[in-house]
C-alpha cells in the first residue's frame, strides 16, 4: 500500500482521511515520520501556505503528501481574518481572543456574511494539485455552543439554525469546508488509482 503523508500533527485529521481512502493508501501524519519541527507558513494566501507546507514535506521526505490551510473570510471585513485566522489577535493563537477581535470589529455591522475556506495542496510524483472546500454562512453576534474549535461558536452555516459549535462532529463534517476539500482530494486519488 502506498504511503501518503498528511502534513499535520493532528491525528484526528489523519484518521479522517485514512477512513475515506480505506485500503488505497497508508495515510500517516508528521508524528509517524518522527518530525516535530514547525513547518513554515509564510505566504499571504491559503493556497500559498498549503503549497508551502506540502513542498516542504515532499522535499524533506520525498514522499507523496498533502497539506491544508483554512481561513474564515468575512465580507464586511474585506476577507479578514483570512490567512491570518489562527493568529488574528496575536501569535499565541488564542481562539477566544480571535473571536473577541472579530466581534469587536463587527459590533455595528449588519452584513454578517462570511465563509470558511479550506485549501488542500497535494503533491504526487512531483506534480502539484489544489482542492478547495467552502461553506457560506453568517457571523453571530455572540458565541454559542460548546463543541468545535476556532471560530465555530460564532459561525452559522446558511440553511442551519445552529452554530458550528452546536453541531455534533458528525453533523458538522457532512457540510464543513474541510470535509468538502477532503472529498475532492479523495475522489481525485481514487480516480488516479484506477489508471
Partnered with residue 68 across adjacent β-strands are 120
Are residues 12 and 181 in contact, defined by beta-carbon separation less than 8 angstroms? no
**Are 121 and 51 contacting, i.e. CB atoms less than 8 angstroms apart?**
yes
Distance CA 195, CA 125 (A): 14
Cell of 114: 462570511
Catalytic residue among 32, 69, 75, 161: 69
Q: At what angle do helices 177-194 and 11-21 cross, to 10 degrees?
A: 40
> For residue 167, what are the CA distances in angstroms to 89, 161, 162, 164, 171?
25, 10, 7, 5, 6
> Which phi and psi angles does 131 have, rounded to 5°?
-130, 140
Q: How far apart are the first and last CA of the chain?
A: 16
Q: Give the three cell numbers for residue 27.
A: 495515510
Residue 161 is a catalytic residue? no
Residues belonging to the active site: 69
Amino acid at each position: 500500500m502506498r504511503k501518503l503523508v498528511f502534513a499535520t500533527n493532528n491525528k484526528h485529521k489523519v484518521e479522517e482521511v485514512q477512513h475515506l481512502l480505506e485500503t488505497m493508501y497508508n495515510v500517516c501524519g508528521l508524528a509517524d515520520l518522527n518530525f516535530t519541527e514547525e513547518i513554515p507558513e509564510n505566504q499571504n494566501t491559503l493556497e500559498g501556505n498549503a503549497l508551502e507546507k506540502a513542498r516542504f514535506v515532499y522535499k524533506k521526505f520525498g514522499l507523496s503528501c498533502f497539506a491544508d490551510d483554512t481561513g474564515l473570510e468575512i465580507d464586511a471585513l474585506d476577507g479578514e481574518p483570512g490567512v491570518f485566522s489562527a493568529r488574528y489577535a496575536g501569535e499565541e493563537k488564542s481562539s477566544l481572543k480571535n473571536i473577541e477581535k472579530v466581534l469587536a470589529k463587527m459590533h455595528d455591522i449588519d452584513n454578517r456574511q462570511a465563509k470558511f475556506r479550506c485549501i488542500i495542496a497535494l503533491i504526487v510524483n512531483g506534480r502539484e494539485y489544489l482542492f478547495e472546500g467552502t461553506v457560506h454562512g453568517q457571523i453571530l453576534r455572540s458565541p454559542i455552543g460548546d463543541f468545535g474549535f476556532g471560530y465555530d461558536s460564532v459561525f452559522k452555516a446558511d440553511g442551519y439554525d445552529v452554530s458550528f459549535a452546536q453541531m455534533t462532529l458528525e453533523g458538522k463534517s457532512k457540510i464543513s469546508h474541510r470535509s468538502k476539500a477532503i472529498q475532492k482530494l479523495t475522489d481525485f486519488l481514487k480516480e488516479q488509482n484506477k489508471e
